[in-house]
Structure 1
Amino acid sequence: MPNSTKIILLSLHSHLLSSVKSNQKIRKTLGRCLSLSNGENISDLKRFLLEFDADAKEGRYWLKYFKNFSHTQRPFAIAHLDDDVFERKDMLENLSSSLCFLQRNGMKCIIVHGKSFPCNKPISFQEFNINRERQIKNSLELATSFENNRTYSKILFSGSGVLRSNTPRLSQPLQSSRTSSKDTIKSRFSKNGEDYRGELTDINYQIIEWALKSDSIPILGTLAETPSGKLVLTQSDTVLDRMSLHFQPLKILLLNSTGGLVDASQDKNSSNNQVVIPQINLPSDLESTLNLSNLDDITRKRIININKMLGHLSPQSSVVITSADQVLKELFTHRGSGTLFKHIDTFIQTNNLRDIDKNRLVNLINTTFEKTLKYDFFEKLQDKIDRMFVSENYNAAAIITHEEGLIIPYLNKFVISSDIQGLGLSETLWNLLKFQYKTLIWRSSHTNKINPWYFKNCEGSWSNGQWIVFWYGISDPETSHRAIKTVLNIDISFENSPSKPAASNKLAASDISSPTPKSDPPLIISL
């Protein structure tokens, strides 16, 4: 599709979703879209429009956010498909249409499918053949579905040298059981008693990169080749781990037919209204998640692997467990549809500057505010620090100080790196502050882009045209009145700024709002 046509379609999509009142109007506009696209199959776009008529802003925002990664060399997502997805034809068609939508918008995906199996259980020749035939059948079905949606795919069949494995050892039953007959051995294993379970040793990424560069979706099973040319089965989780480490995708989609993780403790009275865990922050939530009573050993092992995987990916990356027919809802809404796993930094808490890397903290503040701190900022700050919260990777920080004439703790700095905005770290840090401080006051420039988020999280505010003062936990109007006057006279932290605010600090009782009406948070930090 020409770029101009894509722009027209996206413009129509924005207009349609902001004004549509019924599905009938959607279909009418889609008819016009069909004529603009010269007959190209746009069933995936149609479903996208239908799914997001409730909140068009979310869909538009995430589409724009994700498309920023389409200019990079890495794929947008690696999707792992459980075998049960292929048993649901309607689900497979829905998934195919969703992945084609991503592909057409420059968000390239890699597909991995195949079973994982117990490490201590040998795989017989018969089991291997069943799995091999199933993988070939599933690959062909998926490729056909992509073709029906006018999207190219490339099946990377076994024997192409993509996955390489070691030579399996002789099976344990053959080595230890002298009483077993040759016929029994042949029925359980191969003619020479070998185990068809291989250990992945290498991946030929060049073949996969070639498929991506040719604008095709690579489809990869888990059949690997030994040095002698024999085919064996490898663990799909291991293939996924290695692929993720190499390609560094933004999203890893673990797709099944049931959806996200369920917290059984929140659903004791109903089996029809299961409570899906929306988000798990790792590593902090790892132990509590593994202790969920309804998890099986395979799921627990997968969660442990997710924790390790996220430790090697960029801060923007995340892993999702969700249903294969809910991919667009998961990606293009704030709430999602399944269980989202994110690596969230732990926070250093201290009141001593010697406990932190001051240079890294200064760089975080300067870069995020796009200003330069005064050279003596921290020198003057040392004796006033009540507590500092600094993430382990210096992606986020908050500084609380005691200011002269102010009995309420003052939030001197609240900083979230632009690289990780929208990933939940701001909420984590804010929850830490709320837990540690029952009252807090701070100010923000009138032009600060995150003021809507501050409005959402405050209990009161006041503005003099240059500054907006926010607070929570203050119920007495006289206390807030005095606090505002003090906060407005605090020295400015950055160079090339007047040391005192120039605007009038005169207050009137009617100017103090408690609470201030909340506005929606800006999309750059929404969850």
Structure 2
Amino acid sequence: MLARPCMRALGRARPARVSAAAVCRAAVRPALASGYATVSKGTRHEETSARSAVINVLQNLGSKREVQQYLSQFQSVSSQKFAVIKVGGAILTDYIDVLCSSLRNLNQMGLFPVIIHGAGPQMNKLLGEAGIEPQYSEGIRITDGPTLGVARKLFLEENLKLVEALESWGVRARPITSGVLMADYKDKDTWKFVGEVNKVNTDPINAAIADNYIPVLTCMAENNEGQLLNVNADKAAAELAKALVPLKIVYLSEKGGLHNKDTGKLIEAINLDEEYDRYMNMPWVIHGTRSKIRDIKDLLDHLPRSSSVAIIHPESLERELFTHTGAGTLIRRGTKLHKASSLSEFSDVHKLKEVLVRDREGLDAEAVVDRYLDSLKGKTFAAYHDEGMEALAVVLPPDSSSPSGLAHLATLTMTRSAWLSNIADNVFQHLKNDYPKLAWTVKQDDENLTWFSEKADGSIARQGEVLFWYGIETPEEVRELMAEFIQHGRQMFGDNNLESQLHRAASGALRIKDVAQKLQQHRESLGQQTRSFSTSSFSSRNMQRVRSTFGTPTRRGYATTTNPNPPLGIKNQDKDYPSKIALIGARGYTGQALIDLLNRHPNMDLRHVSSRELKGKKLAGYTKRDITYENLSPDDVRRMADAGEIDCWVMALPNGVCKPFVDAIEASSHKESVIVDLSADYRFDSSWTYGLPELVKRSKIAGATRIANPGCYATAAQLGIAPLVPYLAAAPANPTVFGVSGYSGAGTKPSPKNDVDNLTNNLIPYSLTDHIHEREISAQLGREIGFIPHVAVWFAGIHHTISIPLAESMASRDIRQLYQDRYNGEKLVKVIGESPLVKNISGKHGVEIGGFAVHSSGKRVVINATIDNLLKGAATQCLQNMNLALGYAEYEGIPLS
């Protein structure tokens, strides 16, 4: 498998859309509510179940195989050698619950990180209150007698605070405030009572871990005379790490890593062996940053190459420890790579052959690799590998005459050890340095798909293959590359069939020059008609689309989806590049709202609008083309479907009406086109995908062709209840939703529920039991939910008051944090403190959730949720589903302000 990057060592999964701490709290905390002692004294089954629950949750961050691989690595060393975690003072103030949640999860898996904390911000505050002006020299606090007194008292208090917080989370922790760090005066005349660690006594740490306690240390040291000395927390953590030799050293920082002060961008990795001098010569690397990098190099020079330092946000602790993607800034000594441009430059060609054979299955593996190597003789290529060839990349550089300058990554192979020692990232850093533009293909079921997406600027999928690229910036280049991949796919960018690849390599078919020529031909064949479609918005919007196909929201701020459906407009090589849309049933308010959204969408083209009442009238508000309302029958739809005229059908019909139209499409020769149904007809059909992206896996929606759009009441109610489902009291104590909608929810057909005169100074209840949304909410959440709908005099917007009985006593603050964690990164869900108001949500495309009023018993909470029933309750959500299913960025065409 040489024609595509091949990495079998570890599995990959999509990045989680919520923090690991939040998911783990929701999944595991009920089982541990009575504290760690209960678990530790329980049965082996209880311990195993709790551990499995945590591991299952971690698989939201990485694949099961990946998590297990790292867990096995961590458990292969003695407990105190797993990790040293330095906790900054700001973390203890602002993120203590997040930290405790993560540490509890690690502890539940049998891991005992050694914690050492500082208290800088708290120290500055107390000194200010005492009228003491902090003094520094070379970035180190000068600690005179009064300052030392304040520091000693503060460190004891902060240590106890963290230990008690961990205990409240069911984690046994032991405070260790002396007897570990021994020190000499750094320079008494300059820094007064500041110490420089000269010895670390690990006995108290080992004893704590042997007793199943997580050790929690302060950064106070003492000299041989027993004098307390203040030690810089980073330096104390480094000396502790030198003594314990852990696999991981983690510095938790509210900034989440080191940032390049010239660009403002996060530095994801620093390989000291190759980049230390370069960073130290950068003009912005001064003062604290310079000292930090220098001290980390000194630390890692004393440790095995397997050790690394990560500077991360506390919310990213599990991601850093258990995934290749990691988080924040990873600093390691690195592995120097060798570069070869011909086979003769390899010192051991036999070893090269072995490396290539290890990823090739079948009895003919050696013969196939021999032919592959023969095909490289006399060709221009660049190979990157480490000394032991744990990692190997082969790149076909761009032809000198190529206008695009696009290189092709033909081969990439990694061993497990290369993954765990981060050589894979080092290889890609070299590729990005040497090749500004690079493309490569991966099988869509590749176990490392997410890792590739982290390295790419964009991607597109087709027939089980994914094309990734970086460095392509202009809309035209992106458009053409995508079109070329869809038309020529494997022939141009790689193939998992090595025999076919060899034939093409030998004949020069993989030359980037050929790609460039074909792209130019494609540009000419497309002509002005294609480019005339939304070119002004393509740069910002379509770049978001192509990046988000397999993107990572935590770093790029857009949806993460795994989409097997290419945009059909490209697939069909239609000159009208945007996807072609038909709207069946457009007279209602929702249809009009969707038309407005489609009019702004750069990659969707509304072709047909059907309405019996409006037949023959011109569609107003759509400016891309002139459209006249039609009265399409199921036979008309069948004819259009057979002709492949439509990529996506939107059914905006009343309940019970759309089945004949769906049946017509199902019976056509193009039944693979997407259908999104806005009615309730298919919301309970298991063969259809329920399209609520914030609660249903986006990959499932992206892979669907039959999507049931949720109801407006049901969307807001589910989002308002979902984070608390693990905490619900047992039946028959079920949540109750009191919902009030504006009269647009009653439709355009005149009735007492949309008669403004009847609604003025009035509130109309209806369908007080067994409403269709009551059944929908209950089915999706897996719990019986009571729903009581009403209609009021305003036009658009829904307000829910949701009463939720809880299985255990909870505080309002903790509940709100659950919601904030659960919907972190969701662009259309906003969690606020106060109760949201309808007037603030009308005309907006999201949902607001707030209130969080807890009954005095602590076992019932009332939550409010608001939604515009025509937008996120219908049209906006429909467009989210259409975007995902058609291969566009989830929020394409949706105003997010």
Give the structure-1-normalised TM-score.
0.60
| Alignment CA distance shift 1:363-1:33 (3 Å) | same
In the alignment, is residue 222 of structure 1 matched against residue 219 of structure 2?
Answer: yes
Residue in structure 1 matching 2:177, options 157, 175, 178: 157
Q: 2: CA distance between counterparts of 1:443 and 1:147?
A: 46
Shift of 1:131: 2.3
| Alignment CA distance shift 1:81-1:201 (3 Å) | same
Residue in structure 2 matching 1:83, options 89, 101, 110: 89
Deviations 1:455-506 (A, max 9, x none): 999989999xxxx999998779599489989953849xxxxxxxxxxxxxxx
Q: Any conservation in 1 of the 2:36–2:172 contact (CA below 8 Å)? A: no
Q: 1: CA distance between counterparts of 2:174 and 2:291?
A: 30
| Alignment CA distance shift 1:38-1:230 (3 Å) | closer
SS at match of 1:166: strand
Shift of 1:224: 2.7
In the alignment, is residue 397 of structure 1 matched against residue 417 of structure 2?
Answer: no
Q: 1: CA distance between counterparts of 2:204 and 2:354?
A: 40
SS at match of 2:95: helix
Q: Which amino acid aligns with 1:83?
A: G
Q: Which amino acid aligns with 2:183?
A: S
In the alignment, is residue 280 of structure 1 matched against residue 280 of structure 2?
Answer: no
Shift of 1:349: 1.6
5 Å-filtered alignment, 1:337-486, equals 338-351=328-341, 357-358=347-348, 383-384=377-378, 386=380, 387-392=382-387, 394-399=389-394, 414-421=412-419, 425-426=423-424, 428-430=426-428, 432=430, 435-436=434-435, 480=491
Q: Any conservation in 2 of the 1:251–1:318 contact (CA below 8 Å)? A: yes
In the alignment, is residue 247 of structure 1 matched against residue 244 of structure 2?
Answer: yes
Deviations 1:185-238 (A, max 9, x none): xxxx9xxxxx42332222122332232232211122233333344333334333
Q: Which amino acid aligns with 1:217?
A: I
Q: Which amino acid aligns with 1:152?
A: R
Q: 1: CA distance between counterparts of 2:26 and 2:450?
A: 35
Q: 2: CA distance between counterparts of 1:439 and 1:140?
A: 52
Q: Which position in structure 1 is the counterpart of 2:607? A: none
What residue ranges of structure 1 are gaps of 5+ in the alignment? Answer: 1-13, 174-188, 190-194, 267-274, 403-407, 492-514, 522-527
Q: Any conservation in 1 of the 2:260–2:267 contact (CA below 8 Å)? A: no
Shift of 1:36: 13
Q: Any conservation in 2 of the 1:316–1:419 contact (CA below 8 Å)? A: no
Deviations 1:136-175 (A, max 9, x none): 22222222222222322222232x2x22223666x437xx
Q: Any conservation in 2 of the 1:80–1:113 contact (CA below 8 Å)? A: yes
Q: Which amino acid aligns with 1:70?
A: Q
Q: Which position in structure 2 is the counterpart of 1:95? A: 99
Shift of 1:327: 3.5
| Alignment CA distance shift 1:39-1:479 (3 Å) | closer
Q: Which position in structure 2 is the counterpart of 1:111? A: 115
What residue ranges of structure 2 are gaps of 5+ in the alignment? Answer: 1-12, 41-45, 121-135, 398-405, 470-480, 504-545, 551-560, 564-897
In the alignment, is residue 488 of structure 1 matched against residue 478 of structure 2?
Answer: no
Q: 1: CA distance between counterparts of 2:29 and 2:175?
A: 32
5 Å-filtered alignment, 1:13-92, equals 56=60, 58=62, 63-68=67-72, 69-74=74-79, 75-86=81-92, 88=93, 91-92=95-96
Shift of 1:368: 6.6
Q: Which position in structure 2 is the counterpart of 1:298? A: 288
Q: Which amino acid aligns with 1:81?
A: V
SS at match of 2:62: helix
SS at match of 1:421: helix
Out of 330-339 and 146-155, give the one that drifted further.
Answer: 330-339
Cα RMSD over matched residues? 5.7
In the alignment, is residue 145 of structure 1 matched against residue 165 of structure 2?
Answer: yes
Q: Which amino acid aligns with 2:83?
A: A
Shift of 1:440: 8.3
Shift of 1:302: 0.9
Q: 2: CA distance between counterparts of 1:264 and 1:409?
A: 30
Q: Which position in structure 1 is the counterpart of 2:604? A: none
Shift of 1:101: 1.9
SS at match of 2:170: coil
Q: Any conservation in 1 of the 2:342–2:377 contact (CA below 8 Å)? A: no
Shift of 1:279: 0.9
Shift of 1:308: 4.1
Shift of 1:312: 5.1
| Alignment CA distance shift 1:436-1:215 (3 Å) | same
Give the structure-2-normalised TM-score.
0.38
Q: 2: CA distance between counterparts of 1:285 and 1:341?
A: 10
Q: Any conservation in 2 of the 1:368–1:418 contact (CA below 8 Å)? A: no
Q: Which position in structure 2 is the counterpart of 1:203? A: 200
Q: Which amino acid aligns with 2:289?
A: T
Q: Which position in structure 2 is the counterpart of 1:500? A: none
Q: Any conservation in 2 of the 1:401–1:411 contact (CA below 8 Å)? A: yes
SS at match of 1:58: coil
In the alignment, is residue 261 of structure 1 matched against residue 250 of structure 2?
Answer: no
Q: 1: CA distance between counterparts of 2:408 and 2:255?
A: 47
Q: 2: CA distance between counterparts of 1:107 and 1:367?
A: 33
Q: Which amino acid aligns with 2:107?
A: Q
Out of 111-120 and 202-211, give the one that drifted further.
Answer: 111-120
Q: 1: CA distance between counterparts of 2:116 and 2:493?
A: 62
Out of 231-240 and 286-295, give the one that drifted further.
Answer: 286-295
Residue in structure 2 matching 1:126, options 133, 142, 146: 146
Residue in structure 2 matching 1:172, options 180, 183, 189: 189
Shift of 1:109: 0.6
Q: 2: CA distance between counterparts of 1:66 and 1:286?
A: 27
Q: Any conservation in 1 of the 2:308–2:330 contact (CA below 8 Å)? A: yes
Q: Give the fraction of aligned pairs with identical amino acids, expressed as a percent.
A: 17
Q: Which amino acid aligns with 2:90?
A: D
Out of 57-66 and 300-309, give the one that drifted further.
Answer: 57-66
| Alignment CA distance shift 1:459-1:141 (3 Å) | closer
